[in-house]
Amino acid sequence: MREMTVYGVSFDLVGKQPIVLLKTADENRFLPIWIGHSEAAAILMKLQGAQPQRPMTHDLLTDLIAELDAEVTKITVTELRENTFFARITLERNGSEIEVDSRPSDAIALAVRVEAKIFAADEVIEESGIEFESEEDAANDERIRRVSALGDVDPIEFRAFLDTVTPDEFAAGLEEEED
């Protein structure tokens, strides 16, 4: 089991499908996970500190968990089967641990809201991870450009973009793609 951080959210230029890119906490290994548009928007919104006028689904889930006097302690990307990732949300309530099956996108959207740790199984990282010796190597490697759908954009520049794009601008981009 390896601790991960959310490196960013991008789009697959070919299929226009959002991708969340997780990075191992202790080395430059990346795990790309294709996700839905609404989950991408939910993750980006929270990462940028934006507050919706009304609670989104993941905000509602966060509130329900709190009202039940439980706490999300971690989420884990547990396996990759037939090109589909699986995850588990680990909750603690009254000293007992509860595990709930989840899509990784929903688990990650929840984890960023409650600041829970994110993990991935070693087997998943071995099977789907992309390794680099340094972030500078990652910025120069064409594989990370393809996987995170950055085309000719440098991943470091894209990271700067993620730090400045607003949820409204991101949502506007989603609406343009659907037209």
* Domains annotated on the chain, with CATH: 2-178 (3.10.690.10)
Sort strands 70-81 and 117-120 into parallel, antiparallel or unpaired.
Answer: parallel
User: What rounded mean pLDDT belongs to the chain?
Assistant: 81
pLDDT for res 157: 53
What are the start-end ranges of the H helices in the chain?
A: 37-47, 57-67, 104-114, 122-128, 135-140, 142-147, 155-164, 167-178
pLDDT for res 132: 67
Count CB-CB contacts under 10 A for residue 136. Answer: 11
pLDDT for res 27: 86
pLDDT for res 52: 81
Q: Grade residue 166 by pLDDT with cuts at 50, 70 and 90.
A: low
pTM of the predicted model as reported, rounded to 2 decimal places: 0.74
| Tokens encoding 67 | 């009202």
Q: State mean pLDDT over 34-46.
A: 90
The yes-or-no verdict on residue 90 having pLDDT over 90 is yes
Q: State mean pLDDT over 144-155.
A: 42
Q: Which of 93, 87, 164 is nearest to 118 (CA)?
A: 87
Q: Identify the residue whose tokens are 């090109």.
A: 83
Question: Which residue did the predictor score with more confidence, 115 or 56?
Answer: 115
pLDDT for res 167: 56
